[in-house]
Amino acid sequence: MSHRLSLSRAAHLVGVHRSTLQKMIGEGKLAAAEGMITAQELLRAFPQVNLEASGGIEWVNRIKEESFGRRVRERMLPSQEILAQRLFSQGLELADLRRTVQRYHALVEELGGLLREGFQGHPAQPGALAALSEGLGRALAGDASDAFAAIDEALRVMTPRVEVRPSGREFFVEGHDSILQSGLKAGLQLSYGCGNGTCGLCRARVVDGEVQRIRPHDFTLSEAERAQGHVLMCAYSAVTDVKIETLEAAGPEDIPRQEIVATVRAVSPLGEDTRLLHLQAPRSNRLRFLAGQSASLGAVSPAGDMQGSFAIASCPCDDRNLHFHVGRDDGDTFATGVFSGAIRPGERVTLVGPEGRFVLGREPGRHLVFAACDLGFAPVKSLVEYALSADSAASYTIAWLATRPDGHYLANQCRAWAEALDGFSWMPFRHADAAEGAAELVAGLRAATDFAGTDVYVAGPEAFVHCAEFELRSAGAPAESITALVM
Ligand code: FES
CATH of the domain at 178: 3.10.20.30
For ligand 1, atom 1, the nearest C-alpha belongs to: 195
In this structure, of 59-73, 74-88, 390-404, 454-468, the range with the lowest mean pLDDT score is: 59-73
Q: Is the CB of 285 under 6 A from ligand 1?
A: no
CA of 112 relative to ligand 1 center, distance in Å: 59
In this structure, of 178-182, 195-199, 438-442, 470-474, the range with the lowest mean pLDDT score is: 195-199
Would you say residue 424 has pLDDT above 70? yes
Q: Is the CB of 247 under 6 A from ligand 1?
A: no
Q: Is 202 in the same domain as 305?
A: no
Would you say residue 64 has pLDDT above 50? no
Would you say residue 429 has pLDDT above 90? yes
Would you say residue 338 has pLDDT above 60? yes
Q: Is 37 in the same domain as 140?
A: yes
Q: Which atom of ligand 1 is nearest to the CA of 192?
A: 1
Total domains, the chain: 4
Q: Is 287 in the same domain as 263?
A: yes
pLDDT band at 66 (very low <50, low <70, confident <90, very high): very low
Q: Give the Cα separation of 206 and 230 in Å (integer).
A: 6
Non-local CB neighbours of 442 within 8 Å, separated by 6+ positions: 371, 468, 471, 472, 475
Q: Give the Cα separation of 49 and 203 in Å (integer).
A: 40
CA of 382 relative to ligand 1 center, distance in Å: 24
Between 355 and 89, name the one with better pLDDT. 355
Mean pLDDT is highest, among 37-46, 122-131, 319-328, for 319-328
Q: Are 244 and 333 in contact (CB under 8 A)?
A: no
In this structure, of 67-71, 191-195, 467-471, the range with the lowest mean pLDDT score is: 67-71
Between 16 and 354, name the one with better pLDDT. 354
pLDDT band at 119 (very low <50, low <70, confident <90, very high): low
Q: Give the Cα separation of 85 and 255 in Å (integer).
A: 35
At residue 271, what are phi and psi to the nearest 5 degrees? Answer: 175, 180
CA distances from 286 to 62, 182, 217, 291 (A): 31, 15, 17, 15
Q: Give the Cα separation of 366 and 467 in Å (integer).
A: 24
Measured at the CA of 312, the angle between CA 162 and CA 18, to 5 degrees, comes to 30
Q: Is 85 in the same domain as 120?
A: yes
Q: Is 39 in the same domain as 134?
A: yes
CA of 225 relative to ligand 1 center, distance in Å: 15
Q: Is 11 in the same domain as 151?
A: yes
Would you say residue 335 has pLDDT above 90? yes
- Alpha helices, H only, 186-277: 223-227
In this prediction, residues 314-319 reach a mean pLDDT of 89
- pLDDT above 90: percentage of residues in the chain: 44
Query: What pLDDT, on the 0 to 100 scale, is given for residue 71?
Result: 44
CATH of the domain at 468: 3.40.50.80
Q: Which atom of ligand 1 is nearest to the CA of 199?
A: 2
Query: What pLDDT, on the 0 to 100 scale, is given for residue 2?
Result: 61
Q: Is 18 in the same domain as 115?
A: yes
Would you say residue 292 has pLDDT above 90? yes
The partner residues of 264 in beta bridges, in order of sequence, read 279
Q: Which of 240, 134, 250, 138 shows the shortest CA–CA distance to 188? A: 250
Query: What pLDDT, on the 0 to 100 scale, is given for residue 272?
Result: 94
Q: Is residue 360 part of a domain?
A: no
Q: Is residue 214 part of a domain?
A: yes
